[in-house]
Amino acid sequence: MLRRLLARGLVRAGIVTYVFSALTLVANLVTGIVSARALGPSGRGVFVALTTVSQLAGLLFALGVANSLSYYIARHPEDGPRLLTTWTAMLVPLTAVAIAISELLLPTIFSGDQQAIDLGRWFMLSIVLVVGLELNYGLLLGMHDFLVYNVLRFAQAALIAAVFVVLWVADEMTVENALIAAIVGSTAAMAAGLARSVVRVGVGRLDPRLGAASLWYGVRGQGSTVATNVTARLDVAMLPAFVTNANVGLYSVAANLSLIVHQLSNTFAGLVLPAAASDPERGRIKVIGSLWASLVVAGALAAVLALFARPLIGLVYGDSFRDAAEPLLLLLPGVVLFAGSSILAAGVYAAGRPFTATFAQLLGMAVTVVGLFVFLRSGGITAAAIVSTVSYATVFAAMLIAYKRVSDTPWSAFVPSPARLRGLLT
């Protein structure tokens, strides 16, 4: 039974993905430890806030390129060359607009912090890398080049971690150098990935009609991608305007640790989309089986983090970060459900209904935005954690209903009974 299970492509790819995701998280943990110890809560707060703004802007103006290319190339591999050329042409002006808007918003986001504003002026150019990586991930996933996809994600994180360690040992670790290190890691990953994609996919002619169709798919689903990242990161992005940089640093540690649970499933969800889209007959089995596996892994990891939160944070990040344990415990219940929602969203995308996934994510984003604006000023990082957990639970419930409807799946099919588990394993 185990041999039959391991013989399935998605299962093998899923195991590889979880292994590389774990390695990536270790690399990110090293990065977080070094930045916390070398920069302190205030310096880390500036670093995290700037990278978060860059990530959100890049994902917003990428217009769902990763999901769109993943879906279209999985369904019609012969369209890959034209999609690569056409999307590249479309993304150039969009990236320029993203940089310009981010530059204009910096004084509002970092009011009174001139150092952060000055650093952000040149760091916002890294939005080019965010968009380029999204383009490349879509190409790799659409080709089912899952191993290279995972290797590149790990290599990016590992390179950044290595540069951080070198800077720390050399006593050259500053916020500016940390931002440069992030750019170096992203540039290397993007260059290697695009070289691989161009060789595998090829370059074709501009195809406005195919570009418009795939763009419309991406736009309909873009709200889901943006809302997911807003729900996960808006709290960190908004905190500088309401709390001290030290509290931003504490909350960023809690948020990063909690999102480890989500990131594992979210990375795997990238594989579920093209796997289910290319095999509609078994798509529902793949999605539900992946959902069960993701919830089990997420729940186990969250339980470990909850049991050892305070001593673990103190040991890893230093005693000054121990108070991050309180918001972490509040975040963990919701983030387990958030992990499951990423798999369900992949199933909705694979069914060709990206806007349905967007609607479910927008509900969660609305909870996040309203909750943060109402409670953040008075409740600080505790309120941010509670709002985020409620938002994550809302997303899961909405996405579960959405997938049930688009796939015409009865509620009983989501219950992992012994009979259904045996059916999955045979």
Distance (Å, whole) CA 424 – CA 419 = 9
Q: What percent of the chain has pLDDT over 70?
A: 94
pLDDT of 108 higher than 50: yes
What is the reported pLDDT for 49? Answer: 84
pLDDT of 223 higher than 80: no
Q: Mean pLDDT over residues 301-323, rounded?
A: 85
> Which residue did the predictor score with more confidence, 255 or 242?
255
How confident is the model over 114-146, as pLDDT tens digits? 888 999 999 999 999 999 999 999 999 999 888
What is the reported pLDDT for 417? Answer: 66
Distance (Å, whole) CA 202 – CA 237 = 38
CA 86 to each of CA 33, 91, 270, 306: distance values in angstroms, whole numbers, following the listed order: 41, 9, 22, 47
For residue 278, name the pLDDT band (cuts at 50, 70, 90).
confident
Distance (Å, whole) CA 73 – CA 222 = 18
For residue 90, name the pLDDT band (cuts at 50, 70, 90).
very high
**Range in 2-6, 29-33, 163-167, 279-283 with the lowest mean pLDDT:** 2-6
**Range in 176-190, 242-256, 304-318 with the lowest mean pLDDT:** 242-256
What is the average pLDDT value for the chain, to the nearest integer?
Answer: 86
How confident is the model over 40-68, as pLDDT tens digits? 878 888 888 899 889 889 988 998 899 89
Contact in structure between 290 and 14 (CB atoms under 8 Å): yes
Work out the burial of residue 47: count CB atoms within 10 Å of its CB; fewer than 13 is exposed, 13-18 middle, 19 or more buried: buried
pLDDT of 175 higher than 50: yes
What is the reported pLDDT for 7? Answer: 43
pLDDT of 344 higher than 60: yes
**Range in 81-95, 222-236, 330-344 with the lowest mean pLDDT:** 222-236
Distance (Å, whole) CA 141 – CA 196 = 12
For residue 260, name the pLDDT band (cuts at 50, 70, 90).
confident
Torsion angle of the four alpha carbons 304, 308, 312, 314, in this order, in degrees rounded to the nearest 10: 150
pLDDT of 354 higher than 70: yes
For residue 98, name the pLDDT band (cuts at 50, 70, 90).
very high
What is the reported pLDDT for 206? Answer: 92
How confident is the model over 2-39, as pLDDT tens digits? 455 444 556 677 778 888 888 988 898 888 888 888 88
Q: Mean pLDDT over residues 92-110, rounded?
A: 91
What is the reported pLDDT for 52? Answer: 85
* Structural tokens at position 351: 């069914």
| Domain boundary assignment for the chain | 2-425
For residue 248, name the pLDDT band (cuts at 50, 70, 90).
confident
> Which residue did the predictor score with more confidence, 181 or 313?
181
